[in-house]
Amino acid sequence: MFTRREPKIDEQELTHIPGAEPQNRLDAWWWLVALVAGVIVLLSLLQPDPYWRIILFVRDGIAITVVITVVSFILMLFVGMLGGLGRISKNRVVNLIATLYVELVRGVPLLVQLIWWYFAFPVVIQQIGKWTHISALANFHANAILLAIFGFVFCYGAYMSEIFRAGIQSIPKGQMEAARSLGMSYFQAMRHIVLPQAIRVILPPVGNEFIALLKDSSLVSAVALADLTRRGREFMSANFNPIEVWTMIALLYLVMTLFAARIVNYIERRTKFER
């Protein structure tokens, strides 16, 4: 009787199959996310007062932080793409506007911009309403969440414009020339040929911008928005326990940023291609 032997699979052979590399099957850094989450759970179980009370108190702030970050990130991608296209445009007017936008916005700190949009921008709108006798503008009142999102999109859009510009310019010019020779218009070639390749190139810096945006969202606490940081400050003021409060707030931010970093890393690996 002959027994059938199962073929042996060599780990080195797997590395030649896209997506089958051993290191791509499990991201070990997920254990760090689990570790930080485990510390949060452990503290909440061992000392419900104050750690569990802190989580219950700031949970609405966590929701606001996530909403502002996600919505701002989606919108700033569109702004960045338009700004990047404007930066490489051969139209002098479009190029000048995009360049001025990038240079001026990057020269003002984000916190100053958020404060201006929240406190100064409504006054400007109200003055315009008084001059034009439009009651809707004269009685304009600031919406903290909308203005915070607008401030982040306006500021981060400038940085994202430079990322898109660099990504587009990294694609060989022959790609555009070949597309045009096939009868595509400039916009068709940019949409179907250049931008899909550029997006895969800029994924790492775009992911870094998302993580930076998540951390910078704590600045909205300066404009009376009840995000995670502001809710932590309110709890500390009421209970006078800064060590416990800011330890838990730091852990909550850390687990969110680590989780976001793992998602970004997963997307990068799924869309990675060899040059």
Amino acid at position 5, single letter:
R
Can you give the pTM of this predicted structure? Answer: 0.85
pLDDT for the residue 14:
46
* 264 assigned to some structural domain: yes
* 164 assigned to some structural domain: yes
Could you report the per-residue pLDDT of 38-78, keeping only the tens digit for each? 999 999 999 998 999 999 999 999 999 999 999 999 999 99
* 196 assigned to some structural domain: yes
* 23 assigned to some structural domain: no
Give the whole-number percent of the chain exceeding pLDDT 90.
60
pLDDT for the residue 128:
93
Full domain range(s) for residue 61: 44-271
CATH of the domain at 116: 1.10.3720.10
Judged against a pLDDT cut of 90, whether residue 180 lies above it is answered with: no
Q: How many domains does the chain have?
A: 1
* 105 assigned to some structural domain: yes
* 30 assigned to some structural domain: no
